[in-house]
Amino acid sequence: MMSEGYEFLKAVRDRDGTAVTEALSQPGSVVVNARDITSGESALHIVTERRDAVWIRFLTQKGANPNVRDKRGNSPLSLAVSLGFVEGAKELIEAGARVDETNATGETPLIVAIHRRDTAMVETLLENGASPDRTDNSGRSARDYAAMPGTDPRIAKAIADADARRGDDGGATYGPRF
């Protein structure tokens, strides 16, 4: 017989709503955050990978942790960003996903979105408080990547617009302001 967590993740993979609902309705069940022992994936990773916002919403309403990481250090939000799945990213953020959480290489979701040249995702992350100044393991920030040659100018504009909404000048000056 397989473990309760294994059976739950299998039901999620198989889109078996009846089995998933039954597993989640057991008193004191914590199976919603079960993880695959080989990959570290949770149910949220599985449904994010298949771009299923309805299941993301369902699982987070049942207590799924939107900040759980797989064995590669990826959260469901970083997975949604790498897939360009804006609707899923919005659901995860609404459920409490941390927008500046880094992956194994130190990249924030915003940095990943800039690498993908995904302006809609960049705007979504910035609107939800992502910092353009968090650096990755190389020491570069999203702001640095946005300023690089060949990057869509709409991305730098989105960062400037977010700075303006926050009343920030993007670090352009140093010291006291008069």
Tens-place pLDDT, residues 11-47: 999 999 999 999 999 888 889 999 999 999 999 999 9
Task: Tally helices (H) and strands (E) across the chain.
Answer: 10, 0
- Please state, for a pLDDT cut of 90, what percent of the chain lies above it: 83
> What mean pLDDT comes out for the span 125-154?
95
Q: Which residues contact 73 (CB under 8 A, 6 or more apart)?
A: 102, 103, 104
What does the buried/exposed string (b/e) look like for 133-143 if buried means 16 or more CB atoms within 10 Å of the residue's CB?
Answer: bbbbeeeebbb
pLDDT 10s digits, 91-113: 999 999 999 999 888 999 999 99
| CB neighbour class for 14 (10 Å; exposed up to 12, middle 13-18, buried from 19) | exposed
What does the buried/exposed string (b/e) look like for 20-54 if buried means 16 or more CB atoms within 10 Å of the residue's CB?
Answer: beebbeeeeeebbbbbbeeeebbbbbbbbbeebbe
> What mean pLDDT comes out for the span 50-61?
97
Class of domain 1-98: mainly alpha
pTM recorded for the entire structure: 0.88
Given a cut of 50, whether residue 73 has pLDDT beyond it is yes
Q: Which three-class secondary structure string do you get for 110-158?
A: HHHHHHCCCHHHHHHHHHCCCCCCCECCCCCEHHHHHCCCCCCHHHHHH
- pLDDT at site 105: 87
- What's the fold here for domain 99-170? 1.25.40
Tell me whether domains 1-98 and 99-170 share a fold: yes
- Kindly list the domain boundaries of the chain, sorted by start residue: 1-98, 99-170
Q: Which two tokens stand for residue 144?
A: 């640095």
Q: Which residues contact 45 (CB under 8 A, 6 or more apart)?
A: 39, 68, 70, 74, 76, 79
